[in-house]
Amino acid sequence: MFYNKNFVEAVCKVCGICPNPIPGFCTSLYKTNRPKFLHHIVYKICMLREVNPEIVEQIRTFEGFCALFCRSSACSIYKKGECESNLSKRVSCYEVFLRQLNTYPEIKETGRIFNVWSGIDPTLIGGHLKLLDTIQDLPKKKKKRVAKKIKRIMRSMYHGQSENSGEKNKTKKHKSISTLLFHNQDNDEWGKKLEEYLNEDYNRQQSKAGRATG
């Protein structure tokens, strides 16, 4: 499996969603678009844990899974025409995700999902959880701590390769992102802040190096 051992050591231990992960689902997302997976999935999970560790447990539910993964801004294998309108597609991905947790949805749970969500716009699934409503209120210090975790994962996993290596669905820099999880529509301020945090250590090191050689 793609980067299985390194992925578990570098990513799964930081994420912590799966107790004994066999990360087939997540490695497929990572392989397709590494920056998107780290910035829009792992980063959000780490921020959620800073808000309230108990909230992270909701990601294991179908509604929580959809709220985090099932949107074009987060999932690198998201197909707009298929994923937006097809409930069965989301259930199928959820089942693959559950295999990472060494579990399978019970027939009763699958029946509940279809009973509750059939005939309803799938893009609304999980919206009521409002997973990251309080994330913008986190102190800057905590946000920087999470950003450093992501940067450590990058250094560990990229092995000197370009951070965009394997990125097949690269998004345009100024493209509007629609998500119920992290920010209001057409507000990309959080992305700028994340990049600022990720680059802060590097810039500080470069400044020190410049003074030392000056």
> What HEC string does 165-200 produce?
CCCCCCCCCCCCCCCCCCCCCCCCHHHHHHHHHHHH
| In the predicted structure, residue 12 carries a pLDDT above the cut 60 | yes
Percent of the chain residues topping a pLDDT of 70: 71
Q: Which two tokens stand for residue 168?
A: 């097949």
Tokens of 79: 């197909």
For residue 68, which phi and psi values (nearest 5 degrees)?
A: -90, -50
Confidence label for 1 from pLDDT (cuts 50, 70 and 90): very low
Confidence of residue 141 (pLDDT cuts 50, 70, 90): confident
Q: Cβ–Cβ contacts within 10 Å for residue 92, how many?
A: 11
Cα angle: 98, vertex 102, 104; to 5 degrees? 50
Rg of the chain in Å (alpha carbons):
18
Q: What single-letter amino acid sits at 179?
A: T
Please state, rounded to an integer, the average pLDDT across all residues of the chain: 77
Which carries the bigger pLDDT value, residue 132 or residue 20? 20
pLDDT: which is higher, 182 or 114: 114
Domain containing residue 127: 4-213
Report the C-alpha gap between 107 and 113 in whole angstroms: 10
Q: What tokens were used for 64?
A: 């929580």
How confident is the model at residue 78, as a pLDDT? 93
| pLDDT at residue number 187 | 44
Residue 30 is predicted with a pLDDT of: 93
195-212 tens-digit pLDDT:
554 455 445 544 554 554
Treating both helix axes as pointing N-terminal to C-terminal, what angle do 140-158 and 189-213 enclose, rounded to 10 degrees?
Answer: 70
Q: What is the pLDDT of residues 52-89, one digit of tens each?
A: 888 888 999 999 999 999 989 899 999 988 898 999 99
Average the pLDDT over 144-150 and give the result: 86
179 vs 3: CA distance, rounded Å: 29
pLDDT tens for each residue of 86-108:
999 999 999 999 988 888 878 88
The CA distance from 170 to 99, in Å, is: 28
Contact 156, 164 (CB under 8 A): no
**Cα separation, 154 vs 35, whole angstroms:** 9
Confidence of residue 172 (pLDDT cuts 50, 70, 90): very low
Overall number of domains in the chain: 1
Cα–Cα distances (Å) from 78 to 93, 111, 155, in that order, read 11, 24, 26
Is residue 137 scored above 60 in pLDDT? yes
Predicted local distance difference test score (pLDDT) of residue 28: 93
